Amino acid sequence: MKRSEVKADIESSLGSLLTKAQNAKLTTSADFGSFFCSIENFDNFTVVQRNFENFGEPMSIPFSCEEPNVQMIFSLDGQSAFNDRFDPFLLSPLSHCINFFKYYECWNLLDANSRQHDITFRLKKSFYTDLISSYLSLSEDRLPGMILYEKEFNTINQHVSADAGVLGILKNILDCPFKGEMRSVFIREHVRALLTLQLFHFNPIVSGKENRHDSKITKRDGDILQDVKDYIDNHFLDPASLETLSKHFGINEFKLKYGFKTLFDTSPMRYLQYKRLEYSLFLLRQSDKSIKEIADAVGYSHAANFTTAFTKTFGNSPLHYRTSREVYAAS
């Protein structure tokens, strides 16, 4: 076969696999690259893995989806690109996004001399309804409501970097040693944790856009507030309060609270709490620290208060995550 025919055949085969979304794996190679794609279906969600290396001409892999679903895409290595080559949706390496579509047709784009390695979770409504409903009962965030009531959105071009919590969960999924029902339960639990993290990360991006151009917030204020957020991202284990943050950045407490909420759709202290709880989830998964030690590490003097905050945020108690890890380890 001519090279162009081989290329067209690979594009068609990969596109068919992605569209049909049936349990299958495809591994193929040619003189211009190597291509791996797998589809694994569970009761109400699907895991799609892509690992493409293209040394030749640009490629376009057409695929579609005909049923509504939430898609969480995590780029592991290389850039993931979709849709029109002249106006693509781009996902940078080690970043992630969340989208909701009722239906779509698109192209998976591969530039010449490029690599794409990502994992996508397609979630049916029956997977997330209880988690979203619980989340809505505990917060005023608008993103969960958009998902529950099937309002389309796309954050690929507003993706965020994957932090330690996200990367730790992805590693556990990719390294899952189980088969059968144990594998299903293990991966389902981890995907639900990823969804919870994404709800927090993307709520200000998806639902807070209309609040970002407030005349009361000057460009200087906006720069300072971004510095506050960056500071929390890098120092969330340090002692902090509205007063100390206000003094440190030279901004009054009212403007700090109002501006932070306007730009990021959450308060500074809630954001700080979430970063700490996200880190505690990482410790529960990856360390042998006791729950009390983890509570102390993330700023809670009483384990009971930590347990309450953790359960409200992630839907299950710290003991649930720690016990499930020990059960899996002993299996």
Tens of pLDDT, residue by residue over 1-35, are 899 999 999 999 999 999 999 999 999 999 999 99
Confidence class for position 324, pLDDT limits 50, 70, 90: low
Domains in the chain, ordered, with CATH? 3-162 (2.60.120.10), 209-330 (1.10.10.60)
Give 327's pLDDT tier (boundaries 50, 70, 90).
low
In the structure, what pLDDT confidence band is assigned to residue 131 with cuts at 50, 70 and 90?
A: confident
Higher pLDDT, 325 or 69: 69
Q: Give residue for tokens 């979770």.
A: 121
Contact 290, 282 (CB under 8 A): no
Residue 158 clears pLDDT 70, i.e. is over it: yes
User: Contact at 8 Å (CB) between 7 and 56?
Assistant: yes
Supply 54's token pair: 């293209």
| Block residue for tokens 């709880």 | 277
**CA count, 13 A, side-chain hemisphere, 17:** 24
pLDDT given for residue 210 in this prediction = 44
Residue 328 above 70 pLDDT? Answer: no
Q: What is the pLDDT of residue 164?
A: 79
Can you read off the two tokens belonging to residue 237? 């284990």
Q: Answer yes or no: is pLDDT of 258 > 50.
A: yes
Q: Tell me: pLDDT of 119 over 70.
A: yes
Alpha helices in 150-241 (DSSP H): 164-174, 180-207, 219-235
pLDDT at 168: 85
pLDDT tens for 96-114 read 999 999 999 999 999 999 9
pLDDT class of 204 with cuts at 50, 70, 90:
confident
Give pLDDT, residue 132: 87
Q: What is the pTM of this model?
A: 0.79
- High-pLDDT (> 90) share of the chain, %: 65
Residue % of the chain over a pLDDT of 70: 93
Q: pLDDT tens for residues 275-298?
A: 999 899 888 878 889 999 999 999
For residues 120 and 73, give the distance between their C-alpha atoms in angstroms, rounded to a whole number.
Answer: 4
Q: Tell me what pLDDT residue 97 has.
A: 97
Rg (CA), the chain: 21
What confidence tens digit (pLDDT) does each residue in 206-247 have? 865 544 556 678 888 889 999 999 999 999 999 999 999 999
Which two three-digit tokens encode residue 330? 């002993």
Q: What is the pLDDT of residue 207?
A: 65
Average pLDDT, the chain: 89
Residue 159 scores a pLDDT above 50: yes
Q: What is the pLDDT of residue 133?
A: 84
Is the per-residue pLDDT at 68 higher than 60? yes
Is residue 254 classed exposed, middle or buried when 0-12, 13-18 and 19+ CB atoms within 10 A define those classes? exposed
What pLDDT score does 200 carry? Answer: 85
Predicted confidence at residue 211, as pLDDT, reads: 45
